């Protein structure tokens, strides 16, 4: 297993590569919203600063040891990286973007713009967690399904 510092460096390298190839989609003008515009500006004009913040908070997060339970999902075998509290997950304000930190990290490292009805899901069911491979971008419907299945994380699909 890699240690947290090595993993963080890899997450940042991957994020840098994705941000470097970020492009507005064909539907960009149709989907515009204030939040989307702010993230667009961040990705296009301040990607280094966005990445630096991801790295800073990922390094700062409390690294928890892996849970003992053996639920059959890859995520359950790695420990969460926590910031803030479950009631009030840590937020970030950066160059117009104001968001939950876990959401900011997930969107930035995948170079994904937010859209209506989209949520960043915690595969580990831990709202304090900011660990990128515990986060998955999905729809509100999927998030409700997560609550219903509570604890069952399903497959181990990797985001490309």
Chain residues binding Zn ion by CB under 5 A are 80, 124, 126, 129, 131, 134
Closer CB to Zn ion, residue 31 or residue 74? 74
Concatenating the DSSP letter of every residue in 2-22 gives --HHHHHHHHHHHHHHHHHT-
Residue 28's contacts (CB-CB under 8 Å, 6 or more residues apart) are 40
The CB-of-64 to Zn ion minimum distance in angstroms stands at: 8
The CB-of-128 to Zn ion minimum distance in angstroms stands at: 8
Closer CB to Zn ion, residue 40 or residue 143? 143
**Coil vs helix vs strand at 97:** strand
CA separation for the pair 34, 14 (Å, rounded): 26
CA separation for the pair 40, 13 (Å, rounded): 20
The CB-of-145 to Zn ion minimum distance in angstroms stands at: 18
Closer CB to Zn ion, residue 28 or residue 62? 62
């Amino acid at each position: 297993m890699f240690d947290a510092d090595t993993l963080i460096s890899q997450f940042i390298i991957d994020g840098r590569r994705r941000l470097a190839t970020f492009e507005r989609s064909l539907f960009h003008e149709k989907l515009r919203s204030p939040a989307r515009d702010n993230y667009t500006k961040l990705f296009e004009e301040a990607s280094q600063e966005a990445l630096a913040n991801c790295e800073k908070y990922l390094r700062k997060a409390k690294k928890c040891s892996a849970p003992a339970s053996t639920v059959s999902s890859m995520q359950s075998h790695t420990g969460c990286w926590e910031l803030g509290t479950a009631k009030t997950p840590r937020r970030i304000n950066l160059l117009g973007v104001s968001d939950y930190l876990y959401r900011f990290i997930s969107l930035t490292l995948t170079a994904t713009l937010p859209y209506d009805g989209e949520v960043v899901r915690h595969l580990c069911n831990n709202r304090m967690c900011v660990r990128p491979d515990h986060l998955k971008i999905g729809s509100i419907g999927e998030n409700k399904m997560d609550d219903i299945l509570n604890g069952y994380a399903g497959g181990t699909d990797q985001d490309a």
